[in-house]
Structure 1
Amino acid sequence: MAWMLALMALGAMLLAMPAWAGAQKIIKSHGYSYFGNLKYPADYKHFDYVNPDAPKGGEIALWAPGTFDSMNPYSRKGRAGRYSWMVYESLLGEEPSSGGSAPADVNDEAYGLLAESLEYDEGKTWVIFHMRPEAKFSDGSPLTAHDVVFSHNLLLEQGLPSYAQAVKKRVLSAEALDDHTVRFTFATGISRRSLIDQVGGVPVWPKAWFEKTGARLDEPRMDAAPGSGPYMLDSYEVNRRIVYKRNPDYWGKDLPINVGRHNFDRIRIEYFGDDSAAFEAFKAGEYTFRAEGNSKQWATGYDFPAVKKEWVKLETLPDGTPPDPTGIIFNLGREVFKDKRVREAVSLAFNFEWTNQSLQYGLFKQRHSFVQGSHLEAKGPPEGAELELLKSLGDLVPADMLTEPAVTAHESNADRLSDRRNLRKAMKLLDEAGWPVGSDGMRRNAQGQLMTIEFPIASSGSATMEAVVETFTQNLRAMGIDAKFEKVDPSQYTLRERDRDYDLVFDGYRTFLDTGTGLHQMYGSTEAAFSLFNPAGLASPLVDKIIDASLDSTTAEERDVALMALDRALRYERFMVPVWYNDSSWAAYWDMFEHPAEMPKYSMGLLDFWWYNADKAAALKAAGALR
């Protein structure tokens, strides 16, 4: 009888438990990483690399190219103002490169921001975030779980189609359990990757504001929704200037995740028509910090009086992240580029060695990999676990990928723009692909169509970039290709990029040190026709399967094997001409800013953990260096 009573009691207890709890172990934490390894304990005081005593105050001024006509960074339309996303926060702090609050000294870890804690089942079929009741928007209104649910649904209804399509398949529901508790339920039968961190990274907007104004997320607008972040919009002059100010009533200023961070009182963005005008303005002190990307400028431009007087400081800062894979990208929607032989031939027109020596002062290195310099970079032929993974994918894997070294960028003659050996190889590939040279020296296919390539570039870019593209197209013309580049104004250029109105474009993808469903948005087939994150329109069943293998991995070792195979497969596709990279960051600034002596590996952190030295600023003004 006793055992029957006990069994009945147990049954009643199970019936009383919520259905989502199941019988799995429940994990409760102050942060999240997929494998559960967090560097910072629950009682951490601040991130290791910040200066917890950094003073608050002062202004930092930067520049942006071109124009802006919106302060809504989440619309596909219009050109959003620089840093317009920075006023919003999420449940978990996101990676610093995205403007978020994850620590910059570790990879793939996020800590509670709007949420003070989270709990989830071991199988990651659901997650509950317990929010900080003190969180509020900059207009003083409380930020609640209802705002989180609203923001999640708004992104699905009015956000980028590629995002909505991916998330709807994986996140079944979002529910506010009460004002400060929100629960997400995930689909079964899919990878557990990018579920908890996905919903934890959604920017949160005020539901009441959208309902009152009738604003839409997919439309450009200048009146931005209030955010809950440390900065708020102060003022703007369209196409000239944007000013953000630190919110003196910021609700989260004393949280451990924020100690030593968000130190400037004002962040000012000055807009210029092109890089040349912007550089002259920096020399005159119209703005105070310049992240230099122009090698010629870095090598020869910083000899003006303010540098010689040590009013302007030059620094080369370490960068521990793999460089983002930027380069000349093929629009694979163009019929001419569907043949990989054509893509390889066009790639051979780029002479990195000559470009680096003649236009870039030898300051760059040749990029080969999508994860250049990391432990994930594919080298030589596949072997061991990577080879076994590729073999398991059967006929999807080309035979030569199993035996040949990973594709690398070609070598060229540094002394001549036109490398005759590469030119001959390219001509042969084009002949084989059915594009022979006619009597007029131009290449046509069997239907008599001229091989034409258009390459738009933004007029706001540097003179060096224009020279790079011009010399590249010069080599293409030497092959018998009707190639031309066109300078277009920044707003038109943005529109053409979004509409894939180009044959070639200088653009890039995001690098990866971890897996996630975002890899499908960048490199996958499902959203390839319209994803803004996949400018080539790459759609490869092999790449899809390798991404799936990385998502299904159960250990860090399995994940890394799959990501190395992904790097190999992406390079095999030849959808991008790899160009150059810099393993450091070049910074020029008027000497009134400071940063920690030991910089973190994954971010320069300019607007994150640098600070303003009032005494140095006063000395510059006393010397007449700045107004």
Structure 2
Amino acid sequence: MRVLSLVTLIFMGISPLSFATDPTPPSNSTTYVGHGISMYGDLKYPPDFKHFEYANPDAPKGGTVRLADIGTFDSFNPFIIKGIPPAGIGGLFETLTINSDDEAFSVYGLIAETIEVPEDRTWVAYKLRAIARFHDGTPVTPEDVIFSFNILKEKGNPFYRSYYENVLKVEKIADDKVKFTFVDGSNKELPLIMGQLPILSKAYWSNREFDKTTLEPPLGSGAYKIDSFEAGRFVVYKRVADYWGANLPVNAGQENFDAIRYDYYRDATVALQAFKAGEYDFRSELTAKDWATAYDFPAVKSGLVIKEEIQHEIPTGMQAFFFNTRRPLFADPKVREALSYLFDFEWSNKNLFYGAYTRTDSFFSNSELAAHGLPSPEELKILEPFKDKLPERVFNSAYQPPTTDASGNIRDNIRKALALLNASGWEFKQNKLVNQTTGKPFEFEILLDSPAFERVALPFAKNLERVGIKATIRTVDTSQYKNRLDEFDFDMIVAVVGQSLSPGNEQRDYWGSSKADIRGTRNYAGIKDPVVDALIEQLIVAPDRASLIAQTKALDRVLLSGYYVIPHWHIRTFRVAYWNKFMHPKIAPKYGLGFNTWWIDLEKEKQLNTQRGK
């Protein structure tokens, strides 16, 4: 999870959770008050900071930016499992604190003016800013915070119940202060997690059904509100002229566009052609082939469109083919391992991706949390108590996805796959793989929500066919895809589970047994492993950074040993293309793209329009 900001005192000598105090508390106090908190050390930004380093406080406001999204939307309630919300809807709702994108895990007060936490970390209290307002002018109160917490747990997406599982109660302790009390102080991140709570208006929702979809523009407190829309086609957000937080240091130089418009396209191919035609302004390219071949159109050559690669240090998590282990077909780890030999990443990277990607070999890739090599002594201490429940490979070998020479000849991998399948009760007969007991053929469906992934899935299906497996590829629209994911109505999907530099509560939702059968959770693979459950709980209560790293690596090894996924790939840059009317700060944030710090140069926009004949 992403957490908040930093301070200067380390609690109890065992935890990296720190606080920057303003002012310094009396020596007999056991509670520290700060403008921000962090998991990792001293806050980068002091109490009197003026702006984040990666933002330009002198950036001009103005102009309209046009963006694109794929699929559709049918609801403005992003907090429930029902419906599909539009891109950008998060800009309507402020939180108690806000992340700094150039610190690993730090947050600073947004709605909250100050943050209080005791040494034992059994509670956190937020003093609310007197200026914080909803768009109708009403103040943000402790009652709104309490309502938001309760309604999200009771009627929100199941994720919230998991995320806030260790919160015992929330209460108003002053006219401008709210306090969250925890079950105990073992979860070091909870004081930061609660700052991520989106704050909703109790008065607004008191006469509305929170668990229903709606196309009524909701009341928010953020820098933008919905100006106009047509369901499934476009939505326009307009910057709030009297936004209460505009002059806060955490917002300086950000949210610079007067209006943000998202247009919806049927698929990525159509969207790319629309960008070339100038129908929208900014594009983040996710397809390596398109990045290599599709940006040679005249506007790029003449400088009207800029191509740029921006480095980042964001953990890339896991993108993969996810098995649904709820299906009997994929209940056996040997079967899942066998199929991993039939995905030829090297061929795909060479022939489809122009060598742009690195193979993913960890659920926490591109970070110090990823397990590589043999387990360290610290990891072994964590894993040894579960030795009788884990395969030997967890202890004596490093996970490595099957590899090829990129030629397309995978005979060695086919032999290994067939050996594993035979050991699992399958045999190759008359060009089909059939179950030795039932005689049923091995058939399944790969469910996709984008035609762009068909070119990846088709070669994989072809290799599966070589061992007698029939894999049908089905691409469905966004609504159907979401419904099927929510109901776990799939055999295999392509999914992404992102990670932060400080994993915590959210791991329950990704891999926990208790979430495997709860509609709408993100345990796509249906993992039900008591060892995984135990490791998640140990990770959550890790007392310091070194322990967290060791716990995460141990969890990583166990997840990899279960072959719940066939890993894909990752890249360490943002690939962006944009019509040449933007400026952005010279310093980019380490842990984000920072598009909200960009601005429109009106002179460049005028020149662009002239050159395009507008």
Q: TM-score, normalised by structure 2?
A: 0.92
Counterpart for residue 449 of structure 1:
440
Contact map agreement 1:408 1:571 (CA 8 A) in 2: no
Among candidates 93, 96, 101, match of residue 88 of structure 1? 93
What SS does structure 1 have at the residue aligned with 2:48? Answer: coil
State the one-letter code of the partner of 1:202. Answer: L
Counterpart for residue 329 of structure 2:
336
How much has 1:53 moved relative to structure 2? Answer: 0.8
How much has 1:478 moved relative to structure 2? Answer: 1.4
| Counterparts of 1:326 and 1:615, CA distance in 2 | 41
| Counterparts of 1:257 and 1:114, CA distance in 2 | 11
How much has 1:166 moved relative to structure 2? Answer: 5.0
How much has 1:293 moved relative to structure 2? Answer: 0.7
Contact map agreement 1:193 1:516 (CA 8 A) in 2: no
| Counterparts of 1:317 and 1:120, CA distance in 2 | 37
Counterpart for residue 401 of structure 1:
394
RMSD of the TM alignment (CA)? 1.7
1:198 aligns with 2:193: yes
How much has 1:362 moved relative to structure 2? Answer: 1.5
Counterpart for residue 115 of structure 1:
112
Cα displacement string for residues 33-53 of structure 1 (whole angstroms, at most 9, x for unaligned residues): 245632211111111121111
| Counterparts of 2:473 and 2:188, CA distance in 1 | 41
Matches within 5 A, 1:510-529: 510-529=498-517
Counterpart for residue 181 of structure 1:
177
How much has 1:165 moved relative to structure 2? Answer: 4.8
1:224 aligns with 2:212: no
1:311 aligns with 2:308: no
What SS does structure 2 have at the residue aligned with 1:436? Answer: strand
Matches within 5 A, 1:36-55: 37-55=42-60
Contact map agreement 1:65 1:274 (CA 8 A) in 2: yes
1:65 aligns with 2:66: no
How much has 1:521 moved relative to structure 2? Answer: 1.6
Matches within 5 A, 1:369-388: 369-388=362-381
Counterpart for residue 616 of structure 1:
604
How much has 1:440 moved relative to structure 2? Answer: 5.3
Counterpart for residue 570 of structure 1:
559
Cα displacement string for residues 273-319 of structure 1 (whole angstroms, at most 9, x for unaligned residues): 01111111111111000100111111111111111111000001102
Contact map agreement 1:67 1:79 (CA 8 A) in 2: yes
How much has 1:131 moved relative to structure 2? Answer: 0.4
State the one-letter code of the partner of 1:599. Answer: A
| Counterparts of 2:447 and 2:151, CA distance in 1 | 34
What SS does structure 2 have at the residue aligned with 1:30? Answer: strand
| Counterparts of 2:443 and 2:525, CA distance in 1 | 18
Change (3 A) 1:47 1:440: closer
What SS does structure 1 have at the residue aligned with 2:314? Answer: coil
| Counterparts of 2:145 and 2:182, CA distance in 1 | 16
Counterpart for residue 172 of structure 1:
168
Counterpart for residue 240 of structure 2:
247
Counterpart for residue 549 of structure 1:
538
| Counterparts of 2:428 and 2:391, CA distance in 1 | 30
| Counterparts of 1:322 and 1:144, CA distance in 2 | 35
| Counterparts of 1:387 and 1:568, CA distance in 2 | 11
Counterpart for residue 152 of structure 1:
149
| Counterparts of 2:430 and 2:171, CA distance in 1 | 69
Contact map agreement 1:126 1:186 (CA 8 A) in 2: yes
Contact map agreement 1:71 1:84 (CA 8 A) in 2: yes
Counterpart for residue 571 of structure 2:
582
| Counterparts of 2:476 and 2:396, CA distance in 1 | 44
Cα displacement string for residues 99-144 of structure 1 (whole angstroms, at most 9, x for unaligned residues): xxx1110011111000100212211222221000111011212111
1:362 aligns with 2:367: no
How much has 1:335 moved relative to structure 2? Answer: 0.9
- Unpaired runs of 5+ residues, structure 2, are 1-27
Among candidates 475, 479, 482, match of residue 470 of structure 2? 482
State the one-letter code of the partner of 2:197. Answer: V
Counterpart for residue 421 of structure 1:
412
What SS does structure 2 have at the residue aligned with 1:286? Answer: coil
Contact map agreement 2:317 2:362 (CA 8 A) in 1: no
Contact map agreement 2:93 2:200 (CA 8 A) in 1: yes
| Counterparts of 1:164 and 1:92, CA distance in 2 | 20
How much has 1:621 moved relative to structure 2? Answer: 0.8
What SS does structure 2 have at the residue aligned with 1:293? Answer: coil
| Counterparts of 1:215 and 1:615, CA distance in 2 | 47
| Counterparts of 1:112 and 1:62, CA distance in 2 | 29
What SS does structure 2 have at the residue aligned with 1:437? Answer: strand
State the identity as a percent: 38
| Counterparts of 1:490 and 1:392, CA distance in 2 | 44
Contact map agreement 1:206 1:225 (CA 8 A) in 2: no
Count of aligned pairs? 586
| Counterparts of 1:49 and 1:181, CA distance in 2 | 31
| Counterparts of 2:383 and 2:147, CA distance in 1 | 42
Counterpart for residue 23 of structure 2:
none
1:142 aligns with 2:121: no
Among candidates 307, 311, 320, match of residue 313 of structure 2? 320
State the one-letter code of the partner of 2:441. Answer: L
- Unpaired runs of 5+ residues, structure 1, are 1-22, 94-101
What SS does structure 2 have at the residue aligned with 1:615? Answer: helix
Counterpart for residue 535 of structure 1:
524
Counterpart for residue 18 of structure 1:
none
Could you tell which deviates more after superposition, 150-159 or 407-416?
Answer: 407-416
| Counterparts of 2:276 and 2:300, CA distance in 1 | 9
Contact map agreement 2:56 2:597 (CA 8 A) in 1: yes
| Counterparts of 2:229 and 2:175, CA distance in 1 | 34
| Counterparts of 1:581 and 1:544, CA distance in 2 | 27
Change (3 A) 1:298 1:35: closer
How much has 1:232 moved relative to structure 2? Answer: 0.9
